[in-house]
Structure 1
Amino acid sequence: MKRHSLPVAAAFATTAALLLTACSDGGTKANDKIAGAGEGRSGSTPSTSAGPSGSVKRPAVTLPEDVKNVFESWKTGDPAKDTLMEDVKQRINATDAAIVAADPDAEALSFYYKGEALAGAAEWVQGYVDDGKSITGTVRFYNPDLVMVDKDTAALAYCADETRASDKDRKTGKAEKVPASKDSYVAYNTRVEMNQDGIWQTTSLLSDRGNAKCAS
């Protein structure tokens, strides 16, 4: 398939710089795995859950049966890191739910995004609305590479396989079938920061469609 690509603002390039800095400080070699960034969906409907402190409620995210995200190896075994990874997964799901609902102002977007990344996500969703498009199919997210910069800041790189996903016409519901190619694979680099409520928010996101390290 060939989904819309996330808008890449110049400021998003700070994510790649963050990864390089983190690696030079002894973190895992994120850029050896992925040199870019991207977005996808989950087929289930995660329920509202409490934050780490037990006081913050995460918004429920609901996706239709024909929209599914599969996350491979998104568990580290470290409870704190797994909480971060789960918030990123829900950010991905929330973005797709906003596309399906044609709602660039969806509550879950501002819950899981912040700053320029939030503005970019809202713009991306609005692009689908303006084009009369939605999404369908399954996206596989794999090769997550997490670098903890400090206790409240991290860089996460990962790949997305969109070969079984596509845009679809919102009025007719017809999927836009596009043959799989290297452009069906997207590499993502993201910066995430923990807010005062203990929620990991994406503050920058860089995507690279057709990245060789994800397509290989």
Structure 2
Amino acid sequence: MARRALPATTAVLTATAALLLTACGGSGGSASSDAIKGPGKGQGSPPAPASASASSGPERPEITITDSFRLTFENWTSSDRGEQAVLTDAREELRAGYAAIIENDPDSEAVAFYDTEGVLGQTKEWIKSYTDKNLTVIGKLPAFDPKVTLAPNGRGASLSYCTDETDAKTRNRKTGKVEGNPAGTNPYVRYSVSLTKNAQGVWQNSSLHGERGGCSR
């Protein structure tokens, strides 16, 4: 497994492509692509601002995802401020990656903002596994069951979470052809992420591993 997973038809074309990741979008009564569901909160609850991940530091990039792709984050909240900072920046890194696919922009500055140099190349290859084939992402991708562990020194953290790719699909920009996962593909993927807090106070992805079938609802 490499990075995030999208329909396995795409994964066959590149060893570094994984299935759809938690994503969101939507309009009307549906949850927006930025929605975060926490304890006691409905789908319509607005997301915490990206800048909430740190009381000071650089201005976080503004990331927009179209309504055709619903990337949702279920229970990505914590009463611990340190854990919440990790969750917020990790969420934005994921949103930045999908936004880059949708915008056909492998060199996204938002992705570079949330990735260390060591993992940035991997993320770009994952994005290009779609953009090089004229693919974008549509449908729904919930991310759920996040668990954060902070290092004692406060500069490192680990995060695991799951995604459900049941309703995640790709669409060819030229032909309009829509594809999902082949029948029999396990739609659940567990991700394990290492993060490092940089000098500006931003939690950046430093490594990521995905395991298909590693979780369920």
- One fold, TM greater than 0.5? yes
The gaps in structure 1 that reach 5 residues or longer are 9-36
Quick check: 1:149 aligned with 2:119? no
Q: 1:181 to 1:78 in 2, by over 3 A?
A: farther
Quick check: 1:172 aligned with 2:172? no
Offset from partner CA, 1:11-44 (integer Å, 9 cap, x none): xxxxxxxxxxxxxxxxxxxxxxxxxx98332323
Quick check: 1:122 aligned with 2:124? yes
Which of 3, 21, 24 is matched with 1:42 structurally? 24
The gaps in structure 2 that reach 5 residues or longer are 1-5, 26-32, 35-46
The RMSD of aligned alpha carbons is 2.5
**1:1-216 equivalent positions in 2, closer than 5 A:** 2-3=7-8, 4-5=10-11, 39-43=21-25, 44=33, 49=51, 52-150=54-152, 151-178=154-181, 181-211=184-214, 214-215=215-216
Counterparts of 2:80 and 2:128 in 1: how far apart (Å)? Answer: 36
Query: Given residue 7 of structure 2, which amino acid in structure 1 is its aligned partner?
Result: K
Query: Given residue 174 of structure 1, which amino acid in structure 2 is its aligned partner?
Result: K
Counterparts of 2:202 and 2:20 in 1: how far apart (Å)? Answer: 21
Counterparts of 1:94 and 1:176 in 2: how far apart (Å)? Answer: 22
Q: Which has the higher contact order (CA 8 A, sep 6+)?
A: 1
Number of equivalent positions: 186
Say whether the 8 Å CA contact 1:50–1:57 is kept in structure 2: no
Shift of 1:115: 2.5
Say whether the 8 Å CA contact 1:38–1:186 is kept in structure 2: no
TM-score by length of 2: 0.76
TM-score by length of 1: 0.77
Say whether the 8 Å CA contact 1:185–1:210 is kept in structure 2: yes
Calculate percent identity across the aligned residue pairs: 32
Q: Which has the higher helix share?
A: 1
Offset from partner CA, 1:152-178 (integer Å, 9 cap, x none): 101101110010111111123332144
